Homo-oligomer: A and B are copies of this chain.
Amino acid sequence: MHIQLLMTGSELMRGTTTDTNSVRIADALATLGLAIQRKVTIGDDLALLVRELQAISREADVLIVNGGLGPTSDDLTADALAQAAGDTLAENADALAHLQQWCGERKIALNAANRKQAMLPSTAFLVPNPVGSAVGFGLRLNNCLVLCTPGVPRELEGILADSIVPQLAREFAGCEQQIILRLHLFGIGESQAQDMIDKAIPAWPDGVVLGFRAGMPTVEVKLLVRKSAAAAAQPLFAQLKTILADYIVAEGEQNLQAALLDLLAAQGKTLACAESCTGGLISSMLTEIPGSSRAFTAGFITYSNAMKSGMLGVSEQTLADHGAVSEPVVREMVCGALARSEADIAVAVSGVAGPDGGTADKPVGTVWLAWGTSAHIHARRFQLGGPRKRCQQLTAAIALDLVRRTALGDDQEPPYFARWAV
């Protein structure tokens, strides 16, 4: 099936607004195993809209239009679609009922601007919007199913899940709901992961598609699986987990820190962080997760030497002898964090995130990490690249992964030490 998107809105043509809606649409269609062939993006211009609607409807089976459904004068989708179809605008009873209900629930009067949203091409049908006031609608143009969706992300997500995906599933017998099996990797690049998988699993059965999504700092590997292929996919997913075992930090909808918090909570263990160059990033990644208080107790952001001594008890002599970015200092930071938080595991970071502060001995990107329990503390020096923020993100991810490995009792050196540890 040939599917195209028409993304509308002058804000999408400027250097201000990033189009995140087309990704939402692609993600929803992927659950039906459907792919988008082409996207066209234009501003709020009636003539351009009519031209694109005509051109795309002549070659696509389905056209999803996004944006331009609001009540203001630059919301042109209904008008453009009517013109493209040689149709006229008329007040749609279903649309009016939707608007009346929406206003009624909020105890506000239906005004003229709202009422404009009920003016649809006379041959249009309603595409119910479970979330907001915008009226989703569709019609057939040049034998193409044109579906018009709201630009507000929350409303788009509601209409995709509740209306568009079920309608496409009904209309196109060939499509079948898909499930997605996900793994999150750290310390490996997309192409290296692909190589490892290709060697072990050179071909995939019908209905199972391998995909990647490079994030920062993790890489997501996913199997998009047709429901009919679910049984065949399970052993392959298990094989994938064996192949990538050294790199897997989370599974499914979780990320590195959410999986770590679950692991710690299951073990009844708690974690404290002592951060210098990451400046609170590790703590904030953990506390972004709901319920993080189950396992995270304290963060010591000791940005100055005085604070390393005052908050964590790092000796002034050690700081003077070795400098803040050194093995003895991060070891004392971990000891201090363990002692002062009564956490079971602690991790400490001190480094030169840049862009300034590098020296010949300790260039920008030099990071010392220490991690462990009162029974045993490890420390390691890393040399990381990239600008300040990337260096901080990478350090935070390494720190969280090393805590994860400690909690698992895994004493093997992680494979990424070959790349980043010195």
Contacts and interface: CB of A to CB of B under 8 A. Distances in A.
A92 interface: no
Q: Is the interface of A mostly helix, strand, loop or mixed?
A: mixed
A198 to B, nearest CB: 13
A362 B368 CA distance: 41
A288 B388 contact: yes
Interface residues of A, number: 71
B389 A288 contact: yes
A316 to B, nearest CB: 15
A275 B292 CA distance: 14
Contact of A290 (B212, B292, B296, B388): B388
Contacts of A310: 298, 340-341
A211 interface: yes
A252 interface: no
Interface in A1-52: 12-20, 22-30, 35-43, 48
Interface stretch (A168-176, A301-309, A409-417): A301-309
Contacts of A301: 273, 280, 283, 287, 298-301
A281 interface: yes
A14 B275 CA distance: 37
Contacts of A35: 13-14
Contacts of A20: 18
Contacts of A311: 298, 300, 311, 340-341
13 contacts: A13-B37, A14-B30, A15-B28, A16-B26, A17-B213, A37-B42, A278-B287, A279-B283, A279-B292, A280-B286, A298-B307, A298-B311, A300-B301
Given A15-B25, A15-B30, A293-B304, 19 more contacts: A14-B27, A14-B35, A15-B24, A16-B23, A17-B23, A18-B23, A19-B19, A38-B40, A39-B42, A40-B40, A279-B292, A279-B296, A283-B299, A287-B392, A296-B303, A297-B304, A298-B301, A298-B303, A300-B311
Interface of A: 12-20, 22-30, 35-43, 48, 211-213, 220, 273, 275, 277-284, 286-288, 290-293, 296-304, 306-307, 310-311, 340-342, 354-356, 388-389, 392
